[in-house]
Structure 1
Amino acid sequence: MGNCYVIVIDGLGVGAQEDAVEYGDENENTLVHLCKETGCKLPNLQRMGLGNIIPLSSVPVESDPLCAYGKMREVSAGKDSTTGHWEIAGVQLNQPFPTYPEGFPQKVIDQFCDGIGKEQVLVNKPYSGTEVIADYGEEHLQTGYPIVYTSADSVFQVAAHVDVTPVDTLYEWCEYARSEVLQDEHGVGRVIARPFEGTAGNFDRISEERHDYSLAPPDYNLINRLQQEGIKTYSIGKIIDLFGGDGFTQFRRTKSNAEGISQLLSLMSAASDSFVFVNLIDTDQKYGHRLDPAGYAECLQEIDRAIPAIVSKLEEDDILIITSDHGNDPTSESTDHSREFVPVLLFPHRKAFQRNMGTRETFSDIACTAADFFGVNADYPGSSMLNGDQ
């Protein structure tokens, strides 16, 4: 049977979708703009066919790419990580998770405060994560009130200084918010714990201690379906959090892309007949949201350097899919995710129905492909990218 590996390079869009204007993202193109601004060279991803998907100024077309290549359209409403990963796993959302451009209703804040024993919170409006601690961190130190903020995405983020609120306590607050407050009509996609450290004027988020609490996906998602058939499922990175902490045989949270790649290579030495779902978050979290094209380019190059090692560990019966969950253009004026097509590369190309797979109609083609690969009956929207001979 073999292993199916899916690697999500978080926030790697390849151009605005037709409906991007509805999200204010009609001018976004993460990879094109990144290559134009930084001249980013990606020789191994180029060899796989990344430059064949769309014209890229610094990643040329490959005449004989190792992968089948194409791009995928997101059907679900929204442009957040939970929505993107769920659609990859066969779950399409007709309605987006709720967002709060004016901040959360007072009844939500009051219920949260009552549950954690605080009189009030600070901020309660959309804000940049780095700017909110710069602007309110000192007041937080003086009062002990947690900083609650959101963004254009469906998120309830809670920031607290580790000298005021221990990380474990912050996690407990967020677990309470997820399970008791933010359900039903206020069921945001994610509650996110955002610990930070430092002194006034020099506050820094502790990214490796961030923790996401997502809603649980519907039971029919790919991960649960594979487990029902006795197929082992593995999560590397934040995948486990995006699926409500359930559905995986084993999960390995990571603090960086380097650790994620290391964990993947380690698992590849032992995995058999398994589905391995990997998220490499640094492109999005550290560089896309912070509008840092140079850092984003270096991060992509780190992934590119790992490609030969990853490919060398693939067995004859394995397949590897590299994709993304949304865009996050670091050259934009916006620090939010963007409504973009995402790349899809399938290795080896001989297992795909054709080398140039064009524009796929849904991220759920990956769920269809994985189900096809493992011979599992699953009625997911979309179609398999395999040729039927694997």
Structure 2
Amino acid sequence: MSRAFLVVLDSVGCGNAPDAASFGDAGSNTLLHIHEKVGLKMPNLMRLGLGQAMGIDAPAAQGLHGVATEVSQGKDTPSGHWELSGVPVPWDWLYFPDTAPSFPPEIVEEVASFCGTDGILGNCHASGTVIIEQLGEEHMRSGKPICYTSADSVFQIAAHEESFGQERLQALCQHMAPMLHAMNVGRVISRPFVGEDAASFKRTKNRHDYAMQVPSPTLLDWAKADGRATYGVGKIGDIFSGRGLDETRKGFDDALMVHLSDLVDEAPDGALVFANFVEFDSLYGHTRDPEGYAAHLEWFDAEIGRIMAKLRDDDLMLFTADHGNDPTWGGTDHTREQVPVLAVGAGVKDIGQVMFVDVAASVADYLGLSEHGPGRNFL
């Protein structure tokens, strides 16, 4: 029985979204701009057709290739992943204004009341790595949590794992989630960090996302309902609130690559593995580091080449992304872009432009699931 591996390269967009202008992102193109600025050597994904998806001159593709367009009104992680799994977002997210302060008083008061402090730090749009450098020492002195947001529908809380406490931070985020979800804020994210001072602060792998529940069954639910083994690699478990998953494996991207490799070896017949590699976005997109982004893409390509070589003849491994995050673009936020769709195990085919929901339908049909949602099979 066939297996499917759906692999999301978080934020690896390829530009040309038809509605990019309405998001202020007309002209953004994550992959192309990195390639133009730094150059990319990615022989394994280029062989499948990444160059064609990017719109550059490239040798003839040897795999399935195309691009996908999103209809959900967002450029964030839940919107992209939910729609890739067959469920476009049926509501408008709440986005906090890019002002200081960003949050209404009732949110600030609730956080402060839980923590026993006379306020919070931050209360603005910010890069997560920059804000802990700026406010981490004051946070350790005062005990006030660092709260910030972005162009996504998100409320993030950074706190020191030791002086504030990892369990206390998770409890705070869990406490705030129902209030914020009722306001249509997509995620509350705990952002623990360690270190002694601004020069040494570093975020840890113990991040946790408290996401709104998906409003209807997804690809993961369809697979589980048909008795298939389902695995989440990376933050998939957080994005889908654990729903439809038998097992979740987490860590930094290097550990996630090991998990994915292990699952190619271990996953039973008929299994669905859904993976997200986040560090393109979190470490290099938001920090506007095209050189770092390029290096991580090349690392991924080299590692995934070794994994693809182990796939069974009837396995499908499909690569895509959830949005863009052009490191040459202004600001520090995601960019509204189309995303590549590449696959090994589906023959050589130019699928042109498809929709995010078509990814779910195609994987579902490949696995022979009873449900495939609103999309169409492009395989």
The two structures share one fold, judged by TM-score above 0.5: yes
Of 103-112 and 279-288, deviating more is 103-112
2:193 matches 1:196: yes
CA distance in 1, matches of 2:70, 2:216: 21
Structure 1: stretches of 5+ with no match in the other structure: none
CA distance in 2, matches of 1:97, 1:227: 28
Residue 220 (structure 2) aligns with = 223
Residue 126 (structure 1) aligns with = 125
2:358 matches 1:359: no
Pairing partner for 2:248 from 219, 230, 251: 251
Give 3-state SS (helix, strand or coil) of 1:313's partner: coil
2:179 matches 1:181: yes
Cα deviation code 1:164-219 (max 9, x no counterpart): 211121111111111x32122x2311111112233444152314222211112123
Residue 69 (structure 2) aligns with = 73
CA distance in 2, matches of 1:195, 1:203: 14
AA of the residue aligned to 1:190: R
Structure 2: stretches of 5+ with no match in the other structure: none
- Scaled by the length of structure 1, the TM-score of the pair is 0.92
Give 3-state SS (helix, strand or coil) of 1:344's partner: strand
Residue 263 (structure 1) aligns with = 259
**Amino-acid identity (%):** 38
CA distance in 1, matches of 2:108, 2:375: 40
Cα deviation code 1:329-377 (max 9, x no counterpart): 1112221011000000021242xxx7110011x2111110122112223
2:78 matches 1:82: yes
Shift in Å at residue 275 of structure 1?
0.4
Give 3-state SS (helix, strand or coil) of 2:298's partner: helix
Give 3-state SS (helix, strand or coil) of 1:364's partner: helix
Residue 140 (structure 1) aligns with = 139
Residue 35 (structure 1) aligns with = 35
Of 133-142 and 146-155, deviating more is 133-142
CA distance in 2, matches of 1:111, 1:271: 44
Residue 233 (structure 1) aligns with = 230
CA distance in 1, matches of 2:81, 2:94: 17
Does the CA-based 8 Å contact 2:87-2:216 persist in structure 1? Answer: no
2:362 matches 1:369: yes
Residue 171 (structure 1) aligns with = 170
Cα deviation code 1:255-292 (max 9, x no counterpart): 2x211111111111111210000111111111111111
CA distance in 2, matches of 1:364, 1:237: 21
AA of the residue aligned to 1:66: Q
Does the CA-based 8 Å contact 2:219-2:372 persist in structure 1? Answer: no
Aligned residues: 375
- Scaled by the length of structure 2, the TM-score of the pair is 0.95
Residue 50 (structure 1) aligns with = 50
Does the CA-based 8 Å contact 2:365-2:372 persist in structure 1? Answer: no
Runs (4 or more) in structure 1 with deviation over 6 Å come to none
Pairing partner for 2:273 from 273, 276, 279: 276
Pairing partner for 1:294 from 291, 294, 316: 291
CA distance in 1, matches of 2:238, 2:281: 16
CA distance in 1, matches of 2:342, 2:295: 21
2:366 matches 1:383: no
AA of the residue aligned to 1:298: A
Give 3-state SS (helix, strand or coil) of 1:196's partner: strand
Does the CA-based 8 Å contact 1:100-1:150 persist in structure 2? Answer: yes
Does the CA-based 8 Å contact 1:16-1:25 persist in structure 2? Answer: no
Residue 339 (structure 1) aligns with = 336
**Cα RMSD (Å):** 1.6
CA distance in 2, matches of 1:157, 1:232: 32
Does the CA-based 8 Å contact 1:288-1:329 persist in structure 2? Answer: yes
